[in-house]
Amino acid sequence: MYNRHLSPANRLWLPTSPEEVTAFCRAYKLFITLTYDDDDDRPKKICIKGGFNMGLIELYPEALIGGYRREALFYGHVAPAFTYIDLPRPYWAGQNEAQGRVIMDDLGALGAEFGEPTNAWPVELVMAGVEQLAGLHAGTWGRGHSDYPWAGPEHYEEIIWSLFKLWDDLILGSHRPVIPAALKDEKRMRAVLKKYFTSRNPKFQCLVHSDAHIGNTFLINGEPRFLDWQAVHVGSALHDVAYFIAGSLTVEDRREHEMRILNHYLDELNIYDDASLSSQDEDLMVEYRKSMLAGLVWLLTPYELQNEERVRAMIERQAMALIDHRVIELIESLPDVE
């Protein structure tokens, strides 16, 4: 896209060898400074997101390649229509069977601060975060697979199931955080996860970020926004809300304030969508509590994908939310859905 605006001496360069990728790639992103023959308001600093880390792609091809393609589809076909949520500004997005790439603003150059999962957020910042989730959900409320045929939940589910292959190492390994005994039974957890996937309540269906944690946020002037849309899919809105609340607060703050935050999210959603959702609705609270199971992904996250400090911090918060809400027992008590 940008090459035609550049002088021959300043053509957009992309790495072609593993050594060049290592030198120029940081966290699946290339950061480029552009110069032009003429002086105008075109962007000077951009970020190119895509599957540049070939070593990780070889380890987790299903999760990563599918994720980059999905993010490109999101930015190319969905994001331009959003009016209730603030997103990084994309300039181009494209994908094929082997890759997905997005050209967007270099957020760091715009003064953005990026969320760090080891640092829990204060309550008021989480309140602002669920406002963004309400805007996302309201913009696609009630829409399904026919609206977004590329955004089915299968990709997300395949990622989780693929991580189950590493259960003994990730859940029982001596190098891993200690987790509650109730979460260590692989057979039981497989059955619970299967029932969770088949029991999503269509009453709350919309497009979800699905990996809405602090590490996938940035702040502009102190206001939180979401990025990294590789796992976006049609699912339950409460998946995003429960996962974000549980992972963003200390255990103590979540226990004390989560209902206030949930009610704030519902108030925002009701304004956008003229809905009448309430935490007094038993169906909603069941969906919220069982959606805490989304946090299981952190218990199954290898250190190659997130560093050990982040994994330990997030497991502490997510595991305790699962225990506090008796999520395993709740899902087991639900009727089977074929």
Give 252-300 pLDDT, tens digit per residue: 999 999 999 999 999 999 998 777 899 999 999 999 999 999 999 999 9
Measured between alpha carbons, how far is 325 from 262 in angstroms, rounded to an integer?
A: 14
The answer to whether residues 141 and 89 belong to one domain is no
Which residue type sits at 227? L
The answer to whether residues 271 and 193 belong to one domain is yes
Give me the pLDDT at residue 269, please: 95
Closest CA to 51 of 41, 66, 73, 32: 66
Mark which of 74, 107, 140 sits at the end of a domain: 107
Is position 261 within any domain?
yes
Q: Residue 126 pLDDT more than 80?
A: yes
Residue 276 three-state SS: coil
The answer to whether residues 189 and 231 belong to one domain is yes
- Identify the band that residue 59 occupies on the pLDDT scale cut at 50, 70 and 90: low
Domain containing 44 equals 3-107
The answer to whether residues 200 and 98 belong to one domain is no
- Identify the band that residue 57 occupies on the pLDDT scale cut at 50, 70 and 90: low
DSSP category for residue 53: -
- Identify the band that residue 67 occupies on the pLDDT scale cut at 50, 70 and 90: confident
The answer to whether residues 223 and 292 belong to one domain is yes
Measured between alpha carbons, how far is 183 from 173 in angstroms, rounded to an integer?
A: 14
The answer to whether residues 257 and 117 belong to one domain is yes
Which residue type sits at 62? E
The answer to whether residues 187 and 236 belong to one domain is yes
The pLDDT mean for the chain works out to 88
Is position 252 within any domain?
yes
Q: Residue 10 pLDDT more than 50?
A: no
Mark which of 107, 123, 155 sits at the end of a domain: 107
Number of domains within the chain: 2
The fraction of the chain above a pLDDT of 70, given in percent, is 88
Is position 181 within any domain?
yes
The answer to whether residues 17 and 152 belong to one domain is no
Q: Are strands 99-105 and 45-49 parallel, antiparallel or unpaired?
A: antiparallel
Is position 121 within any domain?
yes
Instruction: Compute how many other C-beta atoms are within 10 angstroms of the C-beta atom of residue 256.
Output: 12
Q: Are 69 and 99 in contact (CB under 8 A)?
A: yes
Give me the pLDDT at residue 309, please: 97
